[in-house]
Amino acid sequence: MKKKIVVLTGAGVSAESGISTFRDSNGLWEEHKIEDVATFKGWMKDKDLVLKFYNTRRTQLGTVKPNDAHLAIAKLEEGYDVIVVTQNVDDLHERAGSSKIIHLHGELTKARSTVNPSLVYDIGYKEIHRGDMCEKGSQLRPHIVWFGENVPMMDEAYEIVMGADIVIIIGTSMQVYPAAGLVEVTKPGAKVYFIDPKASGDVGSEVEIIREKAGTAVPRLVEELLKSITIEQ
């Protein structure tokens, strides 16, 4: 039976593909206040602004490619049962070849009904316009979990992490809840790696911290993990 690996990824894993981490140090997202473009209140106040904001990001996503970190994560499936739990809304893990992916914060390449969250549509890199409706006659909105909204996949993510033999955290501070709580539920004896140039040292003594960029550190770690299977056999 293959060992289970859960890979937790954040903005840092996609930054080397040219995707902005998109929240600046001053709290603005591409010069917009967070409450204007990433809350339901902002959506109700100015739908055109919110649609334009995410349409721009979606168009840009179609111009970039998975980087070495994404490709290495997908390669892990050659020897392990791998699930990617990502805070990112891009589709680079899918395009790199990972087969099991949970998006905690939604997906940029999908739209959903404003009145019924279960009505979700694949739109690829197309824009959402005012007047684009679901079958219920409600305006389509970005399929993004905004601030103040529930994270519907969080319970499933907790269960998955609890069953992991190895957890690899990449490109995220893991300081913001509820996602930060995922590290706290790893089972006794599970190996945890934390890859980020600015990784905090207060994530626990059992965590192996690798302060490097994802594109460099992840392929190396993946090769080591795949070789360890051969040695064990």
Active site residues: 105
Residue among 15, 168, 183, 6 at smallest CA distance from 82: 6
Q: How many residues are recorded in the chain?
A: 233
| Phi, psi for residue 179 in degrees, rounded to 5 | -60, -35
Q: Which helix (H) or strand (E) holds 9?
A: strand 4-9
Task: Compute the distance between CA of residue 221 and CA of residue 224 in angstroms, rounded to an integer.
Answer: 5
Task: Compute the distance between CA of residue 5 and CA of residue 8 in angstroms, rounded to an integer.
Answer: 10
**220 burial type by CB count under 10 A (0-12 exposed, 13-18 middle, 19+ buried):** middle
How many CB atoms sit inside 10 A of residue 52's CB? 16
Angle between helices 214-232 and 68-75 (to 10 degrees): 20
Query: How far is residue 197 CA from its own chain's centroid?
Result: 18
Q: Find out whether 192 and 206 touch, Cβ atoms under 8 Å.
A: yes
Amino acid making up residue 147: F
Task: Compute the distance between CA of residue 206 and CA of residue 116 in angstroms, rounded to an integer.
Answer: 42
